Chains A and B, each alone.
Chain A
Amino acid sequence: MKSRMAALVLAATLAAYTVPAMAQNNAPSPTGSNPTAQSVTEQQVLEELGKVKGRGAIPDPKEVVLEQPQGREYQAFHERLLPWIGGILTLGMLIALTVFYLMRGPITLDERPAGVRIKRFTVAERLTHWMTAASFIVLAITGLNYVFGKRLLLPLLGPEAFSVWSQWAKFLHNAFGWPFLLGVSVMAVLWLKDNLPDRYDLEWLREFGGFFSRRHPPARRFNAGQKLVFWSVAVGGGILILSGIVLLFPISSLDIGSLQTAQYVHAVFGMIMIAIIIAHIYIGTIGMEGASDAMVSGEVDLAWAKAHHRLWVEEEGARTPDGPQLGRSVPAE
């Protein structure tokens, strides 16, 4: 008897809980209309548009986006994928160069120096290069701070000092983008002709510049390796500048998707360019004897020029934008 009563009470309680649930789905509301059936649901709008957007009282078009779930994708990219990309590219390049230096050593000038110096780069070319280089160093360090700062520097500096440094880093990053823009544009114009591909490039690349064979594949004013750097800077730098300007003036974007895309592009190309420029700095300083002379003083030894850029000396008269400086054919030493 008792158990039957208990069962009855249990059944009644269960019924009391389930009946309202059924009523919500099937029973009509007091007015007979079912607004839910007519109206749009969140899931529906998300499926149609990929985000929830409507109209509102605020004039800013970005304010009427209610939900943009791809923000979580941005988080996944920025916090998980991007540090890996940056770490692998930067550290990988540094390790590769270290190994190369230890195995091969610097590329020395095996020929006897001629004692005669010829002009390699004009003042305008060097000034532009160093202005761009200084800007790039500042941009690279402050740019990396956005991604790695809180992982590497914050534990060392503490929150307040790190925030002050990061505010300065943001200001410097925004500021030095402009001389970088100017420098890349001027360099692209100055050196475009000399960096167009020619028939000696393939052979140079096949021999890897003679780095390992210790030969000197012929080259004109710029060899294929230098041309690769030029085009990386022109194209990669151009992409960085364009995406950077989009990010600097958010009002120019119509919606948040374009800002996120600009961020993805800017961050990834920034990492790639940092890796390339590390290699460029290596070869221009410790990687090759006599190379830094060219960009610091503007002049190089004639024997160095004949060894590394034979056709520039012999066929082009060691031409710079100021004009050829030697006769068409230079008598052999």
Chain B
Amino acid sequence: MPVIVAGIGLAIVISLGIGYLLYASERPPVYRTAAPSVRIDHPGENLVGPDWSGLYKTPPQASEERQTASQED
């Protein structure tokens, strides 16, 4: 009798275990179906979006030069 219960339990553990592993190893559909030339992650820095302040964010290096330049004006 304990063997029967152990057998059923083993079946459940193996089935759910492999099920979870297969599910976790899947990539989301947007990655699976996109062509190699499509960019999905890593957005850029000056994209227009809901947080857009209306100003162009200068990169850190150029902003220092621009600050000194504007002070000269």
Contact = CB atoms under 8 A, between A and B. Distances in A.
Interface of A: 59, 123, 126-135, 138, 171-172, 174-179, 182-183, 296, 298
A57 to B, nearest CB: 11
Nearest 7 Cβ contacts at the A-B interface: A130-B7, A175-B15, A179-B11, A179-B14, A131-B7, A134-B8, A178-B18
A130 B3 contact: yes
Q: Is the interface of B mostly helix, strand, loop or mixed?
A: helix
16 contacts: A59-B35, A127-B3, A127-B7, A128-B7, A129-B7, A130-B6, A133-B7, A134-B7, A134-B8, A175-B16, A175-B18, A175-B19, A178-B19, A179-B10, A179-B11, A298-B3
Contacts of A183: 11
B4 interface: yes
Contacts of A176: 11, 15
**A interface secondary structure, majority:** helix
Interface string B1-31: 1011011101100111011000000000000
Which of A135, A175, A182, A296 neighbours the largest number of chain B CB atoms within 10 Å of its CB?
Answer: A175
Contacts of B15: 135, 172, 175-179
Number of chain B interface residues as a range: 10 to 19
Interface of B: 1, 3-4, 6-8, 10-11, 14-16, 18-19, 35
A176 B19 CA distance: 9
A127 B6 contact: yes
Nearest to B3: A126
